[in-house]
Amino acid sequence: MANQAAQAPAKEVQFTDEQIAALAAYVGSVSTGPSIPDEEYLSGDGDVAHGAELFRTNCAMCHNVSGAGGALTEGKYAPALDEVTPQHIYEAMVTGPQNMPVFSDTNLSADDKADIISYLLYLRENDSPGGIDLGNLGPVAEGLFLWIIGLGIIVGFTVWLASKPN
Ligand code: HEC
């Protein structure tokens, strides 16, 4: 999976939660990888503004500024982050699945990770203050929306104006 090839898609989960916990415990007993994060970092009551800043510098280039996901090169893509659990977000940062880089504790401390999680949870629980978010896809979607709807209204109005004298 670390190969520079097209991304392997997620498959149906094959194991029960109990079996997954047992597998994790076994792997944990034979190697020195990161452990399952403490609950205190997953509650989402960290510093949202700081988390947003960290997200914009470390994650937004792949996952989009609001975590809506995005296409990468050669058939790879960064998934949307609006449904993943806090534990999943933390574990993704410490393990770096496929083409995602690893964010070790020297890079982003445990508190920084908790702030990023808080930011992502905040986005889910709060409406977009700027109005319709158009899927949070960014300037292309917004430009297209304005181009089609905005220009459509102007053209429609012009036609209506010009048809009056008849
Ligand atoms: C270089 C691009 C890149 C950057 C930067 C990046 N990611 Fe990712 N991320 C990915 C890719 C690609 C995947 C999909 C990997 C897979 O499916 O195995 C992913 C997967 C994830 C997942 C798992 C989503 C799921 O549905 O399973 C989470 C959570 C996540 N990233 C969070 C983050 C956070 C938080 C940051 C910043 C600290 C970040 N990512 C930075 C590319 C990136």
- Provide the whole-model pTM: 0.85
pLDDT at 166 (0 to 100): 60
Q: Is the CB of 149 under 6 A from ligand 1?
A: no
Looking at the chain, the whole-number percentage of residues with pLDDT higher than 90 is: 65
91 Cα to the center of ligand 1, angstroms: 10
Residue ID of nearest Cα to ligand 1 atom 40: 59
Tens digits of per-residue pLDDT, 69-127?
A: 888 888 889 999 999 999 999 999 999 999 899 999 999 999 999 999 999 999 999 88
Does one domain contain both 120 and 145?
Answer: no
Tens digits of per-residue pLDDT, 38-51?
A: 999 999 999 999 99
Q: What's the chain's Rg over C-alpha atoms? A: 22
Structure tokens of 51?
A: 């988390």
Does one domain contain both 24 and 94?
Answer: yes
| Domain housing 34 | 17-126
4 — pLDDT class (breaks 50, 70, 90): confident
Tens digits of per-residue pLDDT, 118-150?
A: 999 999 998 888 778 887 877 888 899 999 999
153 Cα to the center of ligand 1, angstroms: 40
Does one domain contain both 37 and 57?
Answer: yes
Does one domain contain both 153 and 119?
Answer: no
Residue ID of nearest Cα to ligand 1 atom 21: 92
Residue ID of nearest Cα to ligand 1 atom 8: 100
Does one domain contain both 151 and 80?
Answer: no
**CA–CA dist 42, 57 (Å, integer):** 21
Q: Is residue 115 part of a domain?
A: yes
pLDDT at residue 161 tops 80 = yes
Structure tokens of 164?
A: 């009056």
Residue ID of nearest Cα to ligand 1 atom 5: 59
What CATH code is carried by the domain that includes residue 59?
A: 1.10.760.10
pLDDT at residue 1 tops 90 = no
pLDDT at 73 (0 to 100): 86
pLDDT at 36 (0 to 100): 87
Which residues, 6+ apart, have CB-to-CB distance to 75 below 8 Å? 6, 7
